[in-house]
A and B are shown apart, each in its own frame.
Chain A
């Protein structure tokens, strides 16, 4: 084929900035997701440190109340939508196709669109500091009527609404892509009950995302109408109902916490099984537990609303369903313990984080069981107990798992190991710091300290505990600093990682580190959830010396056709962002609006930016359709 120029494959990796902007390679998009989300994670962390410094001492004046509201709103929104969700998406993008033996995602350009919407959604949110007259300030849950125009008159909430819509579209199309990829592109023999558990986690998270996010999309649209067109969906004065917001929000918001944790459960399962040199204990039960948790998660949303005065029957049903969540979660905890039990353990940083996860996350789960008891919830809702609880699920859960995943998969992604010594310092600082920080929050919450207060008096008996929390926060931050230093230091070292540095069980370890653009030149048969292990040691085998060497990378220059790079996802995204800005400023008669009231239209003015954004969007759409996908 070498004589036919048109048929030349583009197996080699292109370089340069344009190759990253137009990339449709799932590995590059995964890296873009991860790097962007780590930057947002650091920004969200700095906001957390501002909060903790303000609360370290009573009657502190570091920030004023208005700024404090903006900082805790941005901290929550950033960590949920711009850090944890995209970090999971990043690992999912990079590793799901590798783990199921595919060359890419089912829709490479949609994948790229998902990334750009995430990036620009985040930038739009943060631009509110500069051009919105202030950041959003009604909390990440945006409770109406606090988020209505009368109580939050700046453009902050408008930015929040529109950026969450963009991020929601990003998550839905990412979810659609993962679902189709996982259902449709599995290697021969990889039935659903042989999927690696990380892939199971991503599949379940994607299903949650596509069913949960439309609810918040509607909630945000109605809030936008209230703020822009003087409707009163959530305004009691106009016979609207603030509880409508809470129902629509938490119908999304509760599954959302599982959206953030499911891939993490998967990462923990992979890390523990590999580093215990055993198959995962109770594979089928683990897979069913994923399905069980996700199903039940749609039936518990009103446990966030026990204090609003629902009927006792509703309280009882939602409390009962919330207890049910503990069953599949408990199955997972015991199966992880069973996986480690009598394993031939390799205690590296990834394993330490995964083991730390089991203990710390269990505390988070127990706190959840306490909060599901309605009378207990009435007593401690809106106190720091709740803050401590959900940080024990999201930090001790998701973040510890993401750290474990980073130490585990970094060699595959870069060909380089992370430094073990720095890693273990990072681990211990994180464990000590987070315990001081979040466990103490439970206690100070029971003492009565409410959430979302910018300061407190010196005579409340909370001083010591808040100081301990703040010291803990800075210890965690020091740990993250060690982690960042580790990332840079390791990237400057020689690439010494082999294809399969951890003696792995799943297919991503069967190709080179980092994998070639086409992932695999050939495939091995899949007859169990750990195909690589079968290939190395024989079916149903125990850990042994001298495994067979497996390399499916084809030497990195196999003759494989890859999908074309594309600029159109970025063009589409820019169109949508311009539309969003047009909506934020235009409909209020801002400078960007064109008056067309003389044409007798129902709207008083048509924003120029809105119209321009639609033009850009359609240019992107037509370009996309005209470009051959292959």
Chain B
């Protein structure tokens, strides 16, 4: 073993010895930090998002196998590209305000964060409004959930995505309530980051949906 290797080995052993010193009486954990260095909640959020990708992948696969089975007048040509494009812009913009909200609380600007969270939730509501508008337009043209496999797949895919947006709005509202009650500070704002992870994921899913439904 080289001298450097010995030194490294020694340092490693010393580090281990330090880590194994356990406060027998009052320790909450057997070892203070987590093994990966990531907070449990942050890690679980990432793994949960990984799981969600399969949920949307299965719905997208369903849409893609069914999209060619109808003639355009049975559905696809009644889609409103203008509304969907506007919605895409709104949702992307909401991700920006979400990022700015996190940045605000990191800089100890709580009022600014609350304002930006409220803006994010509002953009989410605008998005849902656009979706309701498009649904109403389709229904007015006689295209409903059970019209054909294309319409069923379309409503299922965008409906589950819209449900995720709705859950995100409730989530953000809970963050605002928590912040107003003093539960979120510049030193304790992981909750905002987690809500943001979810919100960005739902946003990203929409970018894919917009591509496969409206663009290709």
Contacts and interface: CB of A to CB of B under 8 A. Distances in A.
Given A180-B43, A184-B38, A559 B55 contact: no
Contacts of B35: 183-186, 190
Contacts of A106: 40, 44
B167 to A, nearest CB: 11
Interface stretch (B94-102, B145-153, B206-214): B145-153
A233 B43 CA distance: 36
Given A217-B58, A524-B20, 13 more contacts: A176-B47, A179-B43, A180-B40, A180-B43, A183-B36, A211-B50, A213-B51, A214-B52, A215-B55, A232-B149, A520-B30, A523-B30, A525-B20
Given A101-B30, A107-B40, A525-B20, A231 B58 contact: no
Interface in B54-109: 54-55, 58-59, 61-62, 65-66, 69-70
B28 to A, nearest CB: 6
18 contacts: A101-B30, A176-B47, A183-B43, A185-B34, A210-B48, A210-B51, A211-B54, A214-B51, A218-B59, A232-B152, A233-B152, A238-B148, A520-B30, A522-B22, A554-B24, A561-B26, A561-B28, A602-B145
Interface of A: 1, 101-103, 106-107, 172, 175-177, 179-180, 183-190, 210-215, 217-219, 221-222, 225, 229-233, 238-241, 244, 247-248, 251, 520-525, 554, 558-561, 602, 625, 630
Q: Which of B40, B144, B160 is packed against the most chain A CB atoms within 10 Å?
A: B40
A103 B29 CA distance: 7
Contact of B25 (A107, A211, A231, A559): A559
Contacts of A185: 34-35
Contacts of B22: 522-523
A222 B62 contact: yes
A23 B44 CA distance: 22
A558 B26 CA distance: 9
Contacts of A521: 24
B8 to A, nearest CB: 16
A225 B50 contact: no
Contact of B31 (A187, A218, A554): A187
Q: Which of A175, A190, A231, A630 is packed against the most chain B CB atoms within 10 Å?
A: A231
A240 B146 CA distance: 12
A525 B31 CA distance: 12
Contacts, number: 135
Given A172-B51, A179-B47, A211-B50, A233 B146 contact: no
A583 to B, nearest CB: 14
B137 interface: no
Contacts of A102: 30
Interface string B10-23: 00000011011010
Contacts of A561: 26, 28
A60 to B, nearest CB: 41
A184 B31 contact: no
B151 to A, nearest CB: 9
Interface of B: 16-17, 19-20, 22, 24-31, 34-36, 38, 40, 43-44, 47-48, 50-52, 54-55, 58-59, 61-62, 65-66, 69-70, 139, 144-146, 148-149, 152-153, 156, 160, 174
A329 to B, nearest CB: 24
Contact of B156 (A212, A225, A630): A225
A366 to B, nearest CB: 31
A189 B16 contact: yes
A625 B28 contact: no
A212 B55 CA distance: 9
Contacts of B70: 239
A619 to B, nearest CB: 14
B47 A625 contact: no
Contacts of B54: 211-212, 214-215
A249 to B, nearest CB: 11
| 8 smallest beta-carbon distances between A and B, as pairs | A188-B19, A214-B55, A218-B58, A210-B51, A231-B152, A214-B54, A184-B34, A230-B146
Contacts of B24: 521-522, 554, 558
Contact of A217 (B20, B31, B55): B55
Contact of B145 (A172, A186, A229, A238): A229
A210 B20 contact: no
A218 B43 CA distance: 25
A382 to B, nearest CB: 25
Nearest to A618: B170
Nearest to A518: B30
A210 B44 CA distance: 11
